[in-house]
Amino acid sequence: MALIFPEFCSRSPDLAKFAYLQKEKPHYLPERISVNLSARQFSNPQLIPMIKNVLRTQKISPKQLELEITETGLIENIAEVCSTLHQLGDMGIQLAIDDFGTGYSSLGYLKDLPFNRLKIDKSFVDSCMFDYNSQSIIESIIGLAHRIGLEVTAEGVETIEQKQFLAKHQCDEFQGYYFSPPISPEEFGSFFSQYH
């Protein structure tokens, strides 16, 4: 489940319900809530106090929270977000690079920053069934990520064939319409209520 940061902060009652249900019925729920943050939000000096407050007041474990930054946003603002990423990683919060493969970046930051996951951009998944180059890029991303200890999520999975191709190449998780459309913040609470 993914939210953007202002929605994450404003959904406190639903987050408390998530935390409770995660303990009571863990097999029904995702392991974590993913929150998309912009590079500007990662650069905000109040980010860490805000996150600590939400985690504390809603009794959410840091490992249940995954913060996502796009590869492009990271590269354009790496000096500003580097310290914040390390502080968040030290707190036990999961960190993901979203839309991986779309930025023109050095791979050096992968070894220096505390990321847990790469999310392969949908553009590669869209064409993986008919484009050899996309297949090769996906295989390379998965192999590289696993060799340096990162998990991989494929975005934009819409068909069983895409899912099977990705699974064959050891992709760890899948996201896309094949499984579920996005859930709006308004649906967030009622989604969890069905398991309560």
Phi, psi of 188 (to 5 degrees): -55, -55
Q: 């995702």: which residue's tokens?
A: 30
- Parse the chain into domains and list their residue ranges: 2-193
Residue partners of 57: CB distance under 8 A and separation at least 6: 12
Q: 């990705």: which residue's tokens?
A: 166
Per-residue model confidence as pLDDT tens for the chain (196 residues): 444 455 555 555 556 556 665 666 666 566 788 888 888 888 888 899 989 988 888 778 899 889 998 888 887 777 778 889 999 999 999 999 998 887 666 677 788 889 999 999 999 999 999 999 999 999 999 999 999 999 999 999 999 999 999 999 999 999 999 988 877 666 766 666 665 5
Task: Give CA–CA dist 64/27, Å, rounded.
Answer: 14
* CB distance 16 to 191 below 8 Å: no
Residue partners of 65: CB distance under 8 A and separation at least 6: 32, 33, 35, 51, 55, 93, 94
Report field, pTM of the whole predicted structure over 0.75: yes
Burial letters for 38-73: b for 16+ Cβ neighbours within 10 Å, e otherwise?
ebebbbeeebeeebeebbeebebebebbbbbbbbeb
Q: Does domain 2-193 have CATH number 3.30.1360.200?
A: no
Three-state secondary-structure class, residue 65: strand
Q: What kind and span of H or E run contains 2?
A: strand 2-4
